[in-house]
Amino acid sequence: MSKRRDQAGKSVKFSFEFFPPKNAEMDGQLWQTVAQLKSWGPEFVSVTYGAGGTTRDTSLSTVARMIAAEGLATASHLTCVGASREEVLAVVRQFQEVGVERFVALRGDPQGGIGSAYQPPAGGFANAAELTAGLADHGIRDISVSAYPEKHPESRDIDADIDMLKRKVDAGATRAITQFFFDNAVFARYLERVRAAGIEIPILPGILPIQNLAQVKKFAGLCGASVPRFVEDVLGPVDDNPAERALRSAELASRQVRDLIDLGISEFHFYTMNRVPLMEAVLEQSGFSRSLGKETAAA
């Protein structure tokens, strides 16, 4: 498998997130991306699931192909917005029928959109902790959940946010994947507080190589993440120069990964945005080596 080793010789692992295609052109782009990135030997991949299950059918067909044709350990995202417990578990069984035994348990955005109040459906799961418990009771043993180094926008404060993460862990979560962030000091402070709260599961930093700065800033504003000034200073001046922007973006993300490895982090989750060139540049500059059927380690 494709790995890098940290200074102590520990294997450094990573996983990829993909999203289901919306049309034929995006379908081709997705599978080209998967074909190229699978050769890097990810520990697993995940496939997103639209708010309220709006991409359920394409998510199902996508994960089925990831498993059957691509041979990838695949986790399906799962939300509980607008559905009863029975309806959610019926979806789980559908995914199990195509070989899915890994899930990323998420409450999902409110049906009124980000910023509106979340109203649990009658007989539904009230939050991601309850969804995680439902999956665990159903027999699922590999459950990823979300974590927020800068606090979920709906949480009262960081302590309440970490308390929710602990509830998810107590319910059966086996790992947490963070919202994207760009300042490693933010992640280090968050991880310290998480460990102080007695949470010991792996916390995978969510790394987002920036394809489009304006889009990332807009999305960050919606989900409670921040885009530091140093990111804008690096990418802003080359916003109209795609080639230079890609070079600088790869360097930003790879430096973030290398610095986190130096801090002792050994597992990462990459938000690929279904795109190859920038993602591969980040992996190469981070010191990972492509898998060719045997484990290798970059110098």
Catalytic annotation, residues: 17
Looking up tokens 């998420």 gives 106
* Residues sharing a CB contact under 8 Å with residue 13, sequence separation 6 or more, in sequence order: 3, 43, 266, 267, 268
Beta bridge partners of 3: 297
Residue 68 token pair: 């059957």
At residue 184, what are phi and psi to the nearest 5 degrees?
-65, -25
Q: How far is CA 30 from the centre of its chain?
A: 16
The residue type found at 216 is V
- The Cα 146–Cα 135 span in angstroms is 15
